[in-house]
Amino acid sequence: MAASTLTEVARLAGVSPATASRVLNGSARTPGKDIAERVRQAADSLGYIPNAQAQGLAKSSSGLIGLIVHDIADPYFAAIARGVQDAAREQRKMVLLATTGGGPAEEKEAVAAFAARRADSIVIAGSRSCRAEDQEGNAQLAAELDRYCRNGGRVAVVGHPVVGATALEGYHVVEVPNQELAGRLATELAAGWDGDFVIIGGPDGLYTSDDRVRGFQEGLARAGHRPAEVLRSAFNRSGGYEAGLQLAARIKAASAGNPAAPKLCIFAVNDVMAIGAAAALRSEGLRIPRDASIAGFDDIETLRDFRPALSTVRLPLEDIGRLATRATRPRPAGQDQEAASDEAVTGEVTLRRSTEAAAV
């Protein structure tokens, strides 16, 4: 990658590199009209493009925002990514993408890579875990983030704080009220439901999943309902599918013994899992909501045309990405550090046909 340099432009325009630099990037000092014009023309005719690496080196700031997701093809992350991208454009920055598959070790790698590139800020969208096997990885990730922040980097994490990260200057968390919303969902569902609830959760220790499970149970309790059984599975479509197969067998067994057996209401901790579970039930000849109700979480856009329409909790994913990105932007001096960073994320319980009790 060679290209024409500022020096060449300056030479062509017959001025010093310093002057050329001043006219081509809004410096505090503004050269004279005629000279500016000459430089601009020279730059144009040479097709000059400033070398951002060199600029970054000189100014020690890269104009880069690092985004860490599990999997960019997952619509949940894709939606957040869109928000991040959008906010990045506002800040006239570019986004560097890292997909990690979910392990804290890879996330640590990604943070290090971003730090190496001197990214101005980092947004971590992947959900945190506190499984024993991730403990060491989490510690390393926390250490890496610590270092990054100490060096002036800013980071925002979506959902839960990174385990073990000490509250640092420049470390923000965009809280997502998973627990509360799951509780509300449970309450609303329990209102018109007598049968049992079953929760299809992600692996134990995944905060996002655990919060939603806990919240849902609390909601049930508030509604005077007995707690739901919890099935653990992978946090993706096939996890939902497998759990769905189990439940299908159970449902069929129950209705075989007693045709009037009370229906089951399934809560999958995210939409993608819910869809997987629904597919499993269907493949076993069961119908929703006739034979079982099902609800998800996230309200993934691509899934809204799914039938029966999925009851879920709408999360403003794009906004979440935007918020996280904005939180990393250095506050205008007078502003309180905390003030703007806590624009709360709110969700909305959205009941649709997949849990219509009327179909009982």
Partner DNA sequence: ACGAATCGGGAAAGCGCATTCCCTCTGTTT
Partner DNA sequence: AAACAGAGGGAATGCGCTTTCCCGATTCGT
Site of interaction with its own copies (CB under 8 A): 1-3, 47, 49-54, 56-57, 60-62, 67, 71-75, 78-79, 81-82, 85, 94-99, 112-113, 115-120, 147, 151-153, 237, 272, 275-276, 278-279, 282, 300-303, 305-307, 318
Residues in CB range of 194: below 8 A, 6 or more apart: 262
Residue 5 or 135 having the CB closest to DNA? 5
- Considering the complex, state which of residue 29 and residue 92 has its C-beta at the smaller distance from DNA: 29
Rounded to a whole number, what is the distance in angstroms from the first to the last CA of the chain?
Answer: 66
- Report the distance separating Cα 3 and Cα 54, nearest Å: 13
Closest separation in Å from C-beta 78 to its own copies:
4
Q: What share of the chain is helix, strand, coil (3-state, %, to 5)?
A: 50, 15, 35
| Min separation Cβ 118 and DNA, Å | 9
Our CB check for its own copies shows the closer of 97 and 357 to be: 97
* Nearest distance from C-beta of residue 142 to DNA, angstroms: 23
| 316 alpha-carbon distance from chain centroid | 10
Helices and strands, counts by H and E, the chain = 13, 11
Nearest approach, Cβ of 66 to DNA (angstroms)? 18
Residue 113 or 130 with smaller CB distance to its own copies? 113
Contact of residue 35 among DNA, its own copies, none (CB under 5-8 Å per partner type): DNA
Q: Which is nearer to its own copies, 74 or 188 (CB)?
A: 74
Residue 79 interacts with, from its own copies, DNA, none (CB under 5-8 Å by kind): its own copies
Residue 28 CB, nearest distance to DNA (Å)? 8
In the sheet that 292-295 helps form, which strands lie side by side, from edge to edge? 229-232, 196-201, 264-268, 292-295
Closer residue to DNA in complex, CB, 32/101: 32
CA separation for the pair 141, 201 (Å, rounded): 25
| Residue number, 4 or 238, with CB nearest to DNA | 4
Contacts of 224 (CB under 8 A, 6+ apart): 190
At its nearest, how many Å lie between DNA and the CB of residue 14?
7
| Residues engaged in binding DNA (CB under 7 A) | 2, 5-7, 14-19, 21-22, 24-25, 27, 29-32, 34-35, 48, 50-51, 54-55, 57-60
The site partner of 81 among its own copies, DNA, none (C-beta below 5 to 8 Å per kind) is its own copies
User: Of its own copies, DNA, none, which one sits near residue 250, judging by CB under 5 to 8 A according to partner kind?
Assistant: none
Q: What element of type H or E holds 64?
A: strand 64-69
Q: Other CB atoms closer than 10 Å to residue 48's CB: what's the count?
A: 20
Buried residues in 172-191 as b, exposed as e (16+ CB within 10 A)? bbbebbbbbbbbbbbbbbbe
Instruction: Assess contact for 293 and 312: CB atoms under 8 A.
Output: no
